[in-house]
A and B are shown apart, each in its own frame.
Chain A
Amino acid sequence: MAHEANLPPLLEVRNLQVAYGGIHAVKGIDLHIWAGELVALIGSNGAGKTTMLKTLAGLLHPAGGQIKYDGNNLNDVAAHRRVAMGMALVPEGRGVFARLTVAENLLMGAYSRNDRHKIATDLERMYALFPRLAERRGQLAGTLSGGEQQMVAMARALMSHPRLLMLDEPSMGLAPLMVQKIFETIRDIAALGMSILLVEQNAKLALQTAKRGYVMESGAITLSGASGELLGSDAVQSAYLGG
């Protein structure tokens, strides 16, 4: 891959360990994402993927290891400050504000930006990207369908102008057609040059979308490489793709 050799990765995780609720959920993970890259992190339920993402976003604190983002050590940076640095997480279960309108949810996404005069333009951009949300901008987000809420969550994250977008199970609980739609959008966003870390249980879909992937099992990375290689590997085939 064509990366300037003298530039460090946008995100670099070294020997990350996280204990969560008395469980050693993440046991020494190494992972990196280059600027502009779409990377998938796959693994079964309970492998520690969500714990990993929460730690990257700052909601959980590592028990050991290091997270470097854009050359900065993030270990002691509070979650809300990481947003201003360009990290955005679309959490598992979407986490939309049910009692705020769609428009208010999107404005919350722009909370930490200081170029406030550009927010209105970006809102319109989001409505162009997700026309369904434009129709429902005045509606309380809690009244939307699951797929629409996923759109709100993604649009809201994009409103913060992230350089690294982290998506936790964007396909969860959605009808197949909606999953397709969400993944089309993910590809579109990636094509614009945004770095994306895509966490998915749906390994096939994730690896078809990403260029590169990591496989996580019981808190550790067991395999990594180009998506094509992973898709073809026996281990991934038997564990996640049903033979």
Chain B
Amino acid sequence: MEILLQQIINGLVQGSVYALVALGYTMVYGILGLINFAHGEVVMVGAMLALSALTALLGWGVPPLLALPISLILAMLGCMVLGYGIERIAYRPLRHAPRLAPLITAIGVSIVLQNLAMMVWGRQYHAFPQLIANQPHLIGGAIINDIQIIIFIMALAIMAGLMVVVHRTRLGRAMRAVAENQHAAQLMGVDINRVISITFMLGSALAAVAGLMVSANYGLAHYYMGFLLGLKAFTAAVLGGIGNLRGAMLGGLLLGLIESLGAGYIGDMTGGFLGSHYQDVFAFFVLIAVLVFRPSGLLGERIAERA
């Protein structure tokens, strides 16, 4: 019972991070029909930027509780610039190219970013400084620590904020309009290039938050960390129904739970033959199962347009 609860807690925390990253994939897909495979690297750059900023600020004697939010904001700004640049340089020139071209470009951007990060930050793992006491709390025999609580609450708050922006503001309305019909949106006076840029920047800001969360949770950051995380978040987006914001959030949380419960019980299920290090397999089982049985994802249903 304690194990079940513990795995649920771990799964929800990890899942809320997946959800933040999945939102970035799904927003861009919704508006451009493009899988931005470089998005995982934006998460990595966010983690690295935050870590560098944090190290520098702490070195200057800035108190940790001030240094952390400043680093987060700097990482978000850095990633927004990066996201804007990726769209402007790599994707915009291919807006009307066959769909395969931007997809291959996305993989190329991903490789470029990984290698740039390796040149800047090196190949080694960077330890994330211990900033807060990170008290563990016991709930029904399971342990949840401060950082996990902060990650989960912050992720939920950010997602709620994003939903308000998308569903209650003029900008959000324009984003949904562009996602649905670019020509009609232009006829309303929407500068679609601007809306697309803003979408990339929003997604990248979420990625930066997620990057900081992952590295704070595991205490590590690495130039390669974005690859697997990105693939899993993409899986989460597909699971929820790519292009659907609620789907990305649901898919992220579900994937976190599936992975965590799978890792917790895979030993029992296989009589000890497979261990919890097979955790990553579950995400991709899910991806394959969704693509085979429900390619539109859990919430990916569309309203038919009438003539």
A residues apposed to B, CB below 8 Å: 57-59, 78-81, 83-84, 88-89, 91, 93, 95-100, 104, 107-109, 111-112, 140, 142-146, 149, 156-157, 160, 173
Contact = CB atoms under 8 A, between A and B. Distances in A.
A80 B181 CA distance: 14
A78 B186 CA distance: 9
Interface of B: 170, 173-174, 176-177, 180-181, 183-192, 302-307
Contact of A97 (B181, B186, B304, B307): B181
Contacts of B192: 80
Given A142-B305, A146-B306, A100 B174 contact: no
Contacts of B305: 98, 142
B186 A99 contact: no
B303 A93 contact: no
Contact of A146 (B186, B187, B307): B307
A100 B307 contact: no
Given A95-B181, A99-B180, A79 B187 contact: yes
A149 B181 CA distance: 15
A79 B173 CA distance: 19
Contacts of A149: 306
B190 to A, nearest CB: 6
Contacts of A98: 180, 303, 305-306
B176 A97 contact: yes
A91 B184 contact: yes
Given A108-B174, A142-B304, A100 B188 contact: no
B189 A95 contact: no
27 contacts: A57-B187, A59-B183, A80-B190, A81-B189, A83-B188, A91-B187, A93-B307, A95-B181, A97-B176, A98-B306, A99-B176, A100-B176, A107-B170, A107-B173, A108-B174, A108-B177, A108-B185, A108-B190, A109-B188, A111-B170, A140-B303, A142-B303, A144-B306, A145-B306, A157-B187, A160-B189, A173-B307
A67 B1 CA distance: 74
Nearest to B180: A97
B187 A83 contact: yes
Nearest to A79: B186
